[in-house]
Chain A
Amino acid sequence: MRRVTAARAAAAGAMIMCGAALAAQVPYARLVDAAREPGVWLTYSGAYNGQRYSTLAQITPVNVATLKPAWIYQVAGQGQMETSAIVADGLMYVTEPPTTVTALDPKNGRPIWSYVRPMPSNLRLIGFPATNRGVAILDDMVYVGSLDGVLVALDAQTGAVRWETKVADNGTGHSITMAPLAVKDKVIVGISGGEAGIRGFVDAYEAKTGKLAWRTHTVPAAGERGVETWAGESWKTGAGATWLTGSFDPELNLLYWGTGNPGPDWNGDVRKGDNLYTSSVLALDADTGAMKWHFQYTPHDVHDWDANQIQVLADLEINGRPRKTLVTANRNAFYYVLDRVTGEFLHAAPYAKQTWAKGIDPKGRPRVVEGTEPTPEGNLVYPSLQGSTNWPSPSFSPQTGLFYVPVREMGSYYYKTDVDYEPGQPFTGGGERRKADEAWGAVRALNAKTGAKVWDFRLPSPSWSGVLSTAGGLVFSGSNEGNFYALDATSGAPLWQFQVGGMVRSNPTTFLVEGRQHVSVAAGHAVFMFALP
């Protein structure tokens, strides 16, 4: 604890010394205090706590009906936009498929620079589309992970490449779509490839040089603690991908990183055991990567229910006692409350339709309903393969005490097939047939302490849009059908909408432009900026 304080003081000092000389300096101290600087948007979720909540309150339930587009930036390439914007000191950083970073002027949408990474013709994307979810910023550089498995540092002002580091081989199905997280003097990055039989890891690189500082595998190797939860040598292709941005508690110096499904996804026969540390959250020491604790949401997952969803850090009163909690709406349909200091399980409750578990026991382990595993003939289970929610961000509002989650109400027939591992090929052992005829979606407000539903805003199809909440008393989100809209944060009543003309499959952000609150979202092949008249 003493050391953290010292580091913060040093970083703050550095900011004072350099602040006058250099523009767009985003030292670590600003990232730590990002929640107190609502005019900018400095990390993937807006702050290390993963809350995607802004204290900006210029836009309110009273005036939101007059919200208008300020500008639209269209991209030239193919593929769906899934970027979360970073806004710092007069520039807005967005990413475009496949791995392009563009700095825009947030006042007018004009591009200032673009970094376009050419992709090899034999690029392997196994289990996900060609996309990128955003950059990290630290000091005078922005960082992007590439589909071909490379971490790139760019000059924040010009886009010049400062360094590149190969994270992992794309030939074996490794890829990066997530936004890195900058912490202290390091850039933390995870990896995709959970459908290709990779062995997952979280990496930290020196921000100045790109040198690997530490790597923590999400699946233990022979001789390591936890390998006994894998039959035979199945750990070697055990997956546990780390494909979404984690959260960070500077006071505890702990990173919280979700891990993905075990491999192969749907045939658990070849990997009997709990399969640690897949479908889990890991608490990692930010300096060394050492695992302080872990919590496995879905032991021996056979439905592809990754636990990569945003791990939200919130201080809540649980049973009359203030607790530092980690809360998350898991793909497996349960909402969890954990103690983020110790990893102690505090509470879980279903927040969407599910048929696979009778409940969660006092230790946090699901009581699995027999006969819900995939079969050669297909077995109907709720939720579907993509889960009750997926990577689009939830939001927690300390103002309302509500946890807003994009919900996917759908079941699937799960199939199991034989499977052989071949490097760089899908390693899944089955699949799904969606029960799409009665599928629907929602933005769902949950009591953050209990997970109990408070309201629904219903959508025609299972949502792929993240959620933003603000101190103005609003919740922003989107739909597959192109609606971008604002809801009353207390009641869920729709107050404003704009049809953007393409699927909203990204996370909204909000910040100030020339002193006025703006809201931005990427949709279809464009970035949209909204402001009051």
Chain B
Amino acid sequence: MIIWVLMVAAWLTAWPAVAQTTTTDRPLAAADAADRAEGQRLYTAQCALCHGIDGSGGYGPSLLRPTFVRAADDAGLIAILRAGIPGLMPGFGDANGARRTWQLAAFVRSLNGAGSERATGNPQHGSTLYQQRGCAACHVVAGVGRALGPDLSAIGLQRGPAYLAEALVAPAARVPDGHVVVTARPKTGAPVRGLRVSEDAFWVHVRDTGGRLHAFRVADLTDLQREAGASLMPSYAARLSATDLNDLVAYLASLRGQR
């Protein structure tokens, strides 16, 4: 928290034109629908060209990811919008003004589905459900669990309750970037279904549901079947009551990492 305050202070110092009374010193998560709509308008005009009209990427990277490597916090994101990334992305300087830059940043931050809504369930009961239902067989929280699916240690900072609920009910609708399910069929030996860890024109690496890594030469496969939009995670729609789902979402939303 102290670090965050210092970052904001540094940001305000860096741009003295931003008066402390404006809306632009609020966290991006405090943006309302009107702010995000204006941000989206700017995004469409200035950013969609490289990042895709919905943020899913194009010439530039996808922005639908839970964290940005180059912008760990609000001030960092706004700084990138202003200054760009040398050699990679143009900055927009003061052309958009402080308020609209803040609105644009708020829209970009909202693309990952974190949202500003609050979870309403019981996180303690959710924690019990997480243990009972075997989530740790595929996910890590605070260093514990098997890393087949995404690490959930800070998922509450990265995704909002609505997104988390959908990921539990319809995992295939919320497949994270790069998590492609494949079945590799070698010319000799049994087929292997799992996550595509790596693929180039000559080699494919697949991690099976048991966590074992398999390396195949493409020339040794009869087929590499990609399951577009598939997820290895089962749907919990029929496995959790509405209340339990709400509680599990509340637990996940409470996971905010070690910082």
Interface residues of A in 446-460 (CB under 8 A from B): 457-460
**B45 within 8 Å of A (CB atoms):** yes
Smallest CB gap from A77: residue in B = B87
**A69 within 8 Å of B (CB atoms):** no
CB-CB under 8 A from A431, the residues of chain B are 44, 48-49, 52-53, 58
The answer to whether B201 touches A437 (Cβ under 8 A) is no
The answer to whether A485 touches B48 (Cβ under 8 A) is no
Smallest CB gap from B44: residue in A = A417
The answer to whether A195 touches B93 (Cβ under 8 A) is no
Smallest CB gap from B60: residue in A = A129
Chain B interfacial residues counted at CB < 8 A: 28
**A130 within 8 Å of B (CB atoms):** yes
How many interface contacts (CB-CB < 8 Å) are there between A and B? 96
Bound complex: CA of A499 vs CA of B68, how far in Å? 28
Bound complex: CA of A38 vs CA of B93, how far in Å? 48
The answer to whether B59 touches A128 (Cβ under 8 A) is yes
Q: Residue A483 contacts which of B49, B50, B202 (CB distance < 8 angstroms)?
A: B202
The answer to whether A79 touches B200 (Cβ under 8 A) is no
The answer to whether A437 touches B90 (Cβ under 8 A) is no
Q: Residue B90 contacts which of A123, A438, A483 (CB distance < 8 angstroms)?
A: A123
Bound complex: CA of A79 vs CA of B56, how far in Å? 21
The answer to whether A499 touches B200 (Cβ under 8 A) is yes
Stretch at the interface among A185-193, A227-235, A344-352, A422-430: A422-430
**B54 within 8 Å of A (CB atoms):** yes
CB-CB under 8 A from B86, the residues of chain A are 78, 130
Interface residues of A in 392-416 (CB under 8 A from B): 413, 415
Bound complex: CA of A125 vs CA of B52, how far in Å? 17
CB-CB under 8 A from A436, the residues of chain B are 56-57
Interface residues of B in 179-226 (CB under 8 A from A): 199-202, 219, 226
Interface residues of A in 331-360 (CB under 8 A from B): none
CB-CB under 8 A from A129, the residues of chain B are 59, 87-88
Bound complex: CA of A33 vs CA of B95, how far in Å? 51
A123-135: CB near B (< 8 Å → 1, else 0) gives 1111111100000
**A37 within 8 Å of B (CB atoms):** no
CB-CB under 8 A from A437, the residues of chain B are 228-229
CB-CB under 8 A from A438, the residues of chain B are 226, 228
- The majority secondary structure among interface residues of chain A is loop
Bound complex: CA of A436 vs CA of B226, how far in Å? 12
The answer to whether B201 touches A483 (Cβ under 8 A) is yes
Query: In the complex, what's the smallest C-beta–C-beta distance from B117 to chain A, in angstroms?
Result: 25
**B120 within 8 Å of A (CB atoms):** no
Interface residues of A in 439-470 (CB under 8 A from B): 457-460
**A385 within 8 Å of B (CB atoms):** yes
Quick one: which of B56, B59, B201 has the most chain A CB within 10 A? Answer: B201
Interface residues of A in 49-99 (CB under 8 A from B): 77-79, 97-98
The answer to whether A434 touches B57 (Cβ under 8 A) is yes
Q: Residue B52 contacts which of A130, A417, A432 (CB distance < 8 angstroms)?
A: A432
**A160 within 8 Å of B (CB atoms):** no
**A389 within 8 Å of B (CB atoms):** no
Query: In the complex, what's the smallest C-beta–C-beta distance from B232 to chain A, in angstroms?
Result: 16
Smallest CB gap from A479: residue in B = B201
**A481 within 8 Å of B (CB atoms):** yes
Query: In the complex, what's the smallest C-beta–C-beta distance from B71 to chain A, in angstroms?
Result: 16
Bound complex: CA of A124 vs CA of B90, how far in Å? 6
Q: Known contacts A419-B45, A479-B201, A485-B202; decide if A433 and B228 are in contact (CB<8 Å).
A: no
The answer to whether A195 touches B49 (Cβ under 8 A) is yes
CB-CB under 8 A from A499, the residues of chain B are 200, 202
Smallest CB gap from B55: residue in A = A433
Q: Residue A430 contacts which of B53, B200, B229 (CB distance < 8 angstroms)?
A: B53
The answer to whether B201 touches A481 (Cβ under 8 A) is yes
**A378 within 8 Å of B (CB atoms):** yes
Bound complex: CA of A494 vs CA of B48, how far in Å? 37
CB-CB under 8 A from A460, the residues of chain B are 199-201
Query: In the complex, what's the smallest C-beta–C-beta distance from B22 to chain A, in angstroms?
Result: 24
Query: In the complex, what's the smallest C-beta–C-beta distance from B139 to chain A, in angstroms?
Result: 23
Q: Known contacts A77-B87, A130-B88, A483-B201; decide if A434 and B229 are in contact (CB<8 Å).
A: no
The answer to whether A78 touches B52 (Cβ under 8 A) is no
The answer to whether B200 touches A479 (Cβ under 8 A) is yes
**A509 within 8 Å of B (CB atoms):** no
CB-CB under 8 A from A434, the residues of chain B are 52, 56-58
Smallest CB gap from B227: residue in A = A437
Pairs A-B, 9 closest by C-beta atoms: A481-B200, A431-B48, A431-B53, A78-B87, A79-B87, A437-B228, A483-B201, A130-B87, A460-B199
26 A-B pairs, CB-CB below 8 angstroms? Answer: A98-B87, A122-B93, A123-B90, A124-B90, A126-B49, A127-B59, A378-B53, A385-B58, A413-B53, A425-B45, A425-B46, A426-B46, A426-B49, A430-B48, A431-B48, A431-B49, A432-B53, A432-B58, A433-B56, A434-B52, A434-B56, A434-B58, A479-B200, A482-B200, A483-B200, A485-B201
New A-B contacts (10) at CB < 8 Å, excluding given A419-B45, A499-B202: A77-B87, A125-B90, A130-B88, A415-B53, A425-B46, A431-B49, A432-B52, A433-B53, A433-B54, A483-B201
Residues of A within 8 A of B (CB): 77-79, 97-98, 122-130, 195, 378, 385-386, 413, 415, 417, 419, 425-426, 428, 430-434, 436-438, 457-460, 479, 481-483, 485, 494, 497, 499
